Amino acid sequence: MPFRAIAAALGACALASACAVGPDFKTPAAPAVDGYTPQPLPAQTASAPTQAGEAQRFVTGMKIPEQWWQVFQSAKLNQVIEAALKASPTVAAAQAALKQAHQQVRAQQGAFFPTLQGSYSPSRQRNAVGTISPTLTSGAEIFNLHTAQLTISYAPDVFGLNRRQVESLRALEHAQRFQVEATYLTLASSIAVAAIQEASLRAQIDAQQRIVEINTRLFDNLQKQFKLGFVMGLDVAAAQTQLALAEQALPGLQKQLALQRDLLAALAGKLPSEGIAETFTLADFTLPQELPVSLPSELVRQRPDVRAAEEQLHAATAQVGVAIANMLPQLTLSGAKGGTATVFSQMFSAGNIFWSLAGNVAQTFFDGGTLLARKRAADAGVEQAEAQYRGVVINAFQNVADSLHALNADADVLKAAQKSEQAAKTTLDITGKQLAVGQVNVLAVLNAEQAYQTSVQAAIQARANRYADTAALFQALGGGWWNRPADIAVADAGAKSSN
């Protein structure tokens, strides 16, 4: 039989493979809810006449930009995040994992095609003296033997075992694609929050240094008054204690700032000794006044972690089909054609050519329950993936609800903190003037100063929280990766570059 006839027969068997056993995956339905909180939240937050005190309005269905961090209008933040997305080892690892997953799909797809192998086996042999059936018709005891053959084998995917395996691996590739998106989102959000925290610490350090200056002036004045006999030594000691406490707070804040700078360097893919050129203050950020709120039905399509969990469920579902197909008959076809001769040049001469065509069907009748156990394990894997998917969805909705609650509370806290700061500053100014004319004692001034110090730090942290929780909302909503232009889709780059 001509070798091309063997190939044609195997091709016909391939076309006969048309079904795939096991359940077909169905995308889980989105939660049937209309909102994220038990009671509707206000359409916008409170406002305060201070930095970062603008009211923020929640806009349902508002488009989320792919580079969502640009809503803060900070050129420094944009530069750090864009550089980090290129230099971060975490991003590089996620992209490499995507390439690996893509190649695993490609490798499994190879099983759809026949395997073609060629071999050549030269040997020198000697028959035993007086052998009844010599290898050669000439009866020569010592001879050379050259054998070359081409072998083709194929396992028709009759019950869809390979198709389900490819389906499972492709779902895992998609899951890794969403893991890449989650890596981008987490990295950008972490940098934004770290930069905001750095700005907050710088503001707290500035405020604390001003408080140290106030305490230093007060202590110096009291020392002069003590020498003149206008105040008691107890007042001077109290002022000195207050100054020491104010100075003591500075190293702790400076330590936090140094650690924050190290964190930013690491997030940017640099060593701490390299650092980053940009430094951040609260003045570098603008609070966005309109915030998107996605519909609950859209959130499950936007969150990378939810989409990754969905693909994990898809992969587990396909594995059930793999387990079922392994319990059914396995068909294998093979063919070979070659030649053998004592002289290399005569291997394919007339009479030296051989060929074979074989088929095999195997069915397992007893394996100690192995295949059945694997089927049950695959079913349990689907149950696990379903539960994990529900857990990820619940966590996603919780993240959005937490962010919305936080943003409303942040605005109220800043409004109250700003009023408290103004009142404490007024009290401190009045008390200081009263001390100068002897109407109050030093203790009253120290108490007023302590209240002012506390209110200043609270107002700074309240401003920073508004920025940070705004970033948290964008992260909770998925970050807008789906709005990335198709020609610069970063997450697809791993798969494209491996084709």
- Asked, for residue 227, whether it belongs to a domain, the answer is yes
Helix (H) or strand (E) holding 121: strand 115-126
Alpha-carbon dihedral sign for residues 100, 101, 102, 106: positive
Report pLDDT for 18. 53
> Collapsing DSSP states into helix, strand and coil, what is residue 254?
helix
- Containing structural domain, residue 259: 36-113+160-329+373-497
Helix (H) or strand (E) holding 251: helix 233-267
- Asked, for residue 121, whether it belongs to a domain, the answer is no
Angle, vertex CA 220, rays to CA 215 and CA 222, nearest 5: 95
- Encode pLDDT of 190-229 as tens digits: 999 999 999 999 999 998 998 888 888 888 887 887 888 8
- Encode pLDDT of 132-164 as tens digits: 777 777 777 788 889 999 999 999 999 999 999
- Asked, for residue 349, whether it belongs to a domain, the answer is no
Q: What residues form DSSP beta bridges with 333?
A: 154, 359
Rounded CA Rg of the chain: 37
- Asked, for residue 383, whether it belongs to a domain, the answer is yes
- Encode pLDDT of 17-69 as tens digits: 457 899 999 999 999 998 999 888 889 999 999 999 999 999 998 999 999 99
Angle, vertex CA 77, rays to CA 74 and CA 80, nearest 5: 150
- Asked, for residue 313, whether it belongs to a domain, the answer is yes
Query: How many folded domains does the chain comprise?
Result: 1
Residue 479 is part of a domain; what is its CATH number?
1.20.1600.10
- Asked, for residue 78, whether it belongs to a domain, the answer is yes
User: Which DSSP state fits 135?
Assistant: S
- Asked, for residue 426, whether it belongs to a domain, the answer is yes
Which of the two residues, 345 and 468, has the higher pLDDT score? Answer: 468
- Asked, for residue 17, whether it belongs to a domain, the answer is no
